[in-house]
Chain A
Amino acid sequence: MRSKFLLFLLIAFSVVGLSQEPKRDFAFYAVYPHIVLPEGKEVNLDVVLVNYGENPEEIVFEIAGPEDWNPRLETSSYPRTEIKGLYLLPGEDAKATVKFRAKPPEDAESGDYTFELVARTADGALEKRFTITVTYQREKKETTEEQQVKGLTLLVDYPALENPAGEKFEYEIQIKNEADEDRIVELKAQVPFGWRAYFTPRWKDQRITSIKVNGNASEWIKFVVTPPFGVEKGEYPLTFVASADGVEAKLDLKATVTGTYDLRLGSEAEVFGKGDTRNIKATAGKERIFKLYIWNEGTAPITDIDFFASKPKDWEVKFNPEKLDSLDPIAQTLKPTVVEVKIVPKERAIPGDYEITITAAGKEDREAMKLRVTVGAAMSWGWIGVAVIVVVVAGLTGIFVRLGRR
């Protein structure tokens, strides 16, 4: 028994050694040789080739079957290329997977369609073949149309955003292409009058108007909407439309604009470039009118604006008007409101710089402004002072000169 086995081995080795032929074999099969294909889909099957031999083999393919289905073999990796042959490296690890693809023609009837796939080594020594059966199921007309509409799906995580006026709204939208083939999706938006909208890829600033979406894949885009300057607060509807190959998908979004309140104060010089700056001159005991300009840089009116001033002791600071009921945004009023500030330094104010802080406080916002008041001496008393000095000096000089001569 044992000797027979040894003998068999010996013979086998000698035969192999004598023939000088390396072992050649390969497998060629489809993972799913029989599939059911509903209407609107394409055949897309994995076909596997494995070289069990010792040397690489060059394989050529042949496909037999209904020609109008356009049966073909393609590379499984992108970009898809139709292939007629393949160079197959030996070993199970180097197995190759290609795609068998076929598209049913528009008028294809329901039923079984068979495709015979042949793989042959280039020298014709080895040949493998197998059959793929496709059971095509044609559906009714109406359902077909519905299927077409579902070719694009739009998804958004946050369909309603809220922002203060002046800031842009950014919606991240996922476009799903449910069709098998790649599509160029046109992007459109319906926004209220005056609003500006554009689209960018999710991670880029590039503005786009269309995007390519692979079959059965999805892409994220950013839908950016900028409300016009001075937009009033409120809710605004936005519609995002994606269309490709006559298929259209709509997505309703909502943008809520909240009002902003930004009270500003300024002097005449800041507003008109001339006149009083925030450093004004005044005279002790004399009334000084300072024109205070107030405006609302926000987008919603500020109400109940009161004025008050922190001032040195015994000074008088009065406002005319004393309060404003409402201050519309400067985008609507177009010019700042003037408030007259009457400043009366006290009678015996030492000449020098004093600081007055004017505060305008509305319900929604408040703003303070520091005013430096340089108080100068009243000149009438200054001349009297000079006169006193002159008289004293003259008198003394007279005495000294008169008595010194004796």
Chain B
Amino acid sequence: MSAVFWKELADHLGSKRFVIFFFLILIVGGASTYLAAQALSGTQQGAEFIYLRLFTVSGGGLPSFLGFLAFFGPLIGVVLGFDAINSEFNRGTVSRVLAQPIYRDWWINGKFLAGITALAIAVASIILIIVGLGLYILGFPPDGAEISRTAMFFVISVVYLGFWLSLGILFSIVFRQTATSALASIAVWLFFTLFLYMLAGLVADQVAPIKPGVGADVFAKHESIRDLVLRFSPVALYEEATTAILIPNYRGLGIAALLQEVTIPTSPLPLGQSLLIVWPQLVGLVALTSVCFAISYVIFMRREIRST
């Protein structure tokens, strides 16, 4: 399996499209981080978790690095996965590969693991560059809590990008044509990043319309329905999960938490408590990724492969 893994990893890291997307995210992410550091500079309130704020604060019109990764990160995952299987079919290399003395699942497992590793390398290097930039601008190192939360952020980001990778692989198995699978992946990406947000607002407006003079319960219902719809999207799950990790005094979405913000002290929570708040979202993300990969695994294993 390691032979497949290394070969695939080398293919990913050497491919031009990966390099292009990597540098796109690196440049825009780095710029947004730099602007965030500028916006933070001279803030009189404490410098608690300043390194985490580098990821979440937006400045100068650019979205924060977090928002950027949530929106464009999926493209990298999809790009690495959408032609994993069907291009081999189209080139007629499947039978040649599978004629080798390897198990059939090694092949798909190796492809998936190589993709995940490539993504992990990309995310890790971007985060490292941002931390280096922070060191240069701020002049003091991150403390333990910041490091552990950043590591957690890294893990969640890899899982999130892994979902899109497995989605790409699934489509590459389902559709014979690479163009079809690419378009299908992009359609799903657009649906989850753009349309679901509109849809959530629409559904909430229909079920619990907010009119002048309605009570707080209607507002609460409106918000909860909107959240409910949004949580079908891995993008929303990822944003919620990372928000809790990167903003230590975050106590959850929802109107209840917002209303209580005045009464609850906004002291930062320990990492464990922050994880507890977004545990459902984390489980959801991992589950989505696993289920996605499991489906593609099952389909691939049951597929009849003939040399053509």
- Enumerate chain A interface residues (CB-CB to B < 8 A): 283-285, 312-314, 346-355, 376-379, 381-382, 384-389, 392-393, 395-396, 399-400, 403-406
Contact = CB atoms under 8 A, between A and B. Distances in A.
A313 B136 contact: no
Contacts of A379: 139
A389 B132 contact: yes
B139 A406 contact: no
B274 to A, nearest CB: 21
Nearest to B12: A403
Interface in B265-308: none
Contact of A381 (B15, B19, B121, B135): B135
A284 B131 contact: no
A146 B132 CA distance: 103
B135 A350 contact: no
A292 B214 CA distance: 60
Contacts of B228: none
Contacts of A349: 47
Contacts of A385: 131-137
A392 B135 contact: no
- The secondary structure that dominates the B interface is helix
A388 B128 contact: yes
A403 B22 CA distance: 15
Contacts of B22: 396
Interface of B: 10, 13-16, 19, 22, 40-47, 50, 121, 125, 128-129, 131-141, 143
A221 B50 CA distance: 74
Nearest to A383: B136
Q: Tell me whether chain A's interface is mostly helix, strand or loop, or mixed.
A: mixed
Contact of A392 (B40, B47, B129, B139): B129
A382 B131 contact: no
B279 to A, nearest CB: 30
Contacts of A396: 22, 121, 125
30 contacts: A285-B140, A313-B45, A314-B46, A346-B47, A350-B47, A350-B50, A350-B138, A351-B41, A351-B42, A351-B137, A352-B41, A354-B44, A377-B136, A377-B140, A381-B141, A384-B141, A385-B132, A385-B135, A385-B136, A386-B135, A388-B131, A389-B128, A392-B125, A392-B128, A392-B129, A396-B121, A396-B125, A400-B13, A400-B19, A404-B13
Contacts of A399: 13, 121
A284 B22 CA distance: 35
Contact of A313 (B46, B129, B131): B46
Contacts of A351: 41-42, 137-139
A388 B132 contact: yes
A348 to B, nearest CB: 5
Given A350-B41, A354-B42, A400-B14, A377 B138 contact: yes
Interface centre among B22, B47, B50, B134 (most CB of A within 10 A): B47
B140 A378 contact: yes
Nearest to A352: B42
A351 B46 CA distance: 12
Given A350-B40, A350-B47, A399-B121, 8 more contacts: A350-B42, A351-B42, A378-B139, A385-B137, A389-B128, A389-B132, A404-B19, A406-B10
Given A350-B40, A403-B14, A404-B14, A382 B136 contact: yes
Contacts of B138: 348, 350-351, 377, 381
A392 B10 contact: no
B59 to A, nearest CB: 13
Given A284-B140, A350-B40, A389 B133 contact: yes
Nearest to B142: A348
Contact of A382 (B16, B47, B135): B135
B14 A393 contact: no
A306 B133 CA distance: 43
A347 B139 CA distance: 9
A312 B44 contact: yes
Nearest to A390: B132
Contacts of A285: 140
A231 to B, nearest CB: 46
Contacts of B143: 348
B104 to A, nearest CB: 25
Contacts of A284: 139-140
What 4 A-B pairs come out closest when comparing CB atoms? A352-B42, A385-B135, A377-B139, A403-B14
Contacts of B131: 385, 388
Contacts of A386: 132, 135-136
Contact of B43 (A352, A377, A403): A352
